[in-house]
């Protein structure tokens, strides 16, 4: 398997790696190694584990220093910044899709599974930056590429949890507490997708899909808010 050249990526993120193997590893998905056992590299899951912790610390530190809001508000803002949807959007904007090393099957999937791969790769890259150049460099990358999204999150209230918001609106508008039901389960155990319906009494308001029951419920609630015009 031919490894992608990473000079353009380094230029795009403004970081020149001392250890190019760390940068390369950040883009290696487990599925790639399953199809290419001769590739002398490790996948990115350990880097992702490290990067997740660095990301949370950097975002928490910057929110704490910049805002005097209560802990609960800062927690919801942080969650909106570091969720898979936001991380995958930032990764796409940085052109990460061009550098992902995936199996043939994974490379054809551009839906929700790709979203999680991109989000995990973002965290893996942070882990690689931390190991190669330290916390300050990782924090600068996070500031330049992720924390800059906070004004949009606050302006559009993207930090509001759709499930909580839909429940509040449903109780306010029609006096009913929404209920959720699993309608379908798809895929093997290691890569399941759930389809969940959100109901107001017997009325199926919307369906949502996700890699977990919780994610599918959130997706369903978001769609229900739009369908009812309660956003």
Q: Any idea which residues carry the catalytic annotation?
A: 52, 123
Cβ-Cβ contacts under 8 Å for 184 (sequence gap 6 or more) = 194, 195
Give ∠ CA 197-200-205 in degrees, rounded to 5. 45
Cα 136 to Cα 64: distance, rounded to the nearest angstrom = 17
CA dist list (Å): 210 to 61, 111, 177, 202:
30, 10, 22, 23
β-sheet with 179-186: strand ranges across: 179-186, 193-200, 203-210
Residues paired with 196 in a beta bridge: 182, 208
Q: DSSP letter at 180? A: E
Nearest to 100 by CA among 9, 38, 191: 9
């Amino acid at each position: 398997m031919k490894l992608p050249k990473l000079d353009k990526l380094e230029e795009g993120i403004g970081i020149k790696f001392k250890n190019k193997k760390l940068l390369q590893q950040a883009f290696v998905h487990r599925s790639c190694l399953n199809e290419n056992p001769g590739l002398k590299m490790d996948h990115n899951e350990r880097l992702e584990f490290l990067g997740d912790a660095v990301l949370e610390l950097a975002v928490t530190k910057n929110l704490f220093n910049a805002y005097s809001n209560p802990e609960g508000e800062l927690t919801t803002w942080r969650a909106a910044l570091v969720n898979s949807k936001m991380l995958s959007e930032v990764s796409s904007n940085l052109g990460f899709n061009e550098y992902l090393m995936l199996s043939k099957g994974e490379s054809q999937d551009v839906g929700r599974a790709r979203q999680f791969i991109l989000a995990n790769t973002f965290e893996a890259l942070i882990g690689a930056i931390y190991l190669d150049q330290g916390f300050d460099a990782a924090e600068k990358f996070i500031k330049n590429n992720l924390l800059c999204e906070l004004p949009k999150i606050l302006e559009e209230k993207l930090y509001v949890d759709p499930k909580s918001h839909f429940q509040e609106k449903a109780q306010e508008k029609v006096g009913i507490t929404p209920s959720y039901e699993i309608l379908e389960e798809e895929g093997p155990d290691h890569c399941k997708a759930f389809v969940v319906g959100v109901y107001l009494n017997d009325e199926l308001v919307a369906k949502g899909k996700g890699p977990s029951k919780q994610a599918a419920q959130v997706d369903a609630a978001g769609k229900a808010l739009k369908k009812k015009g309660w956003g």
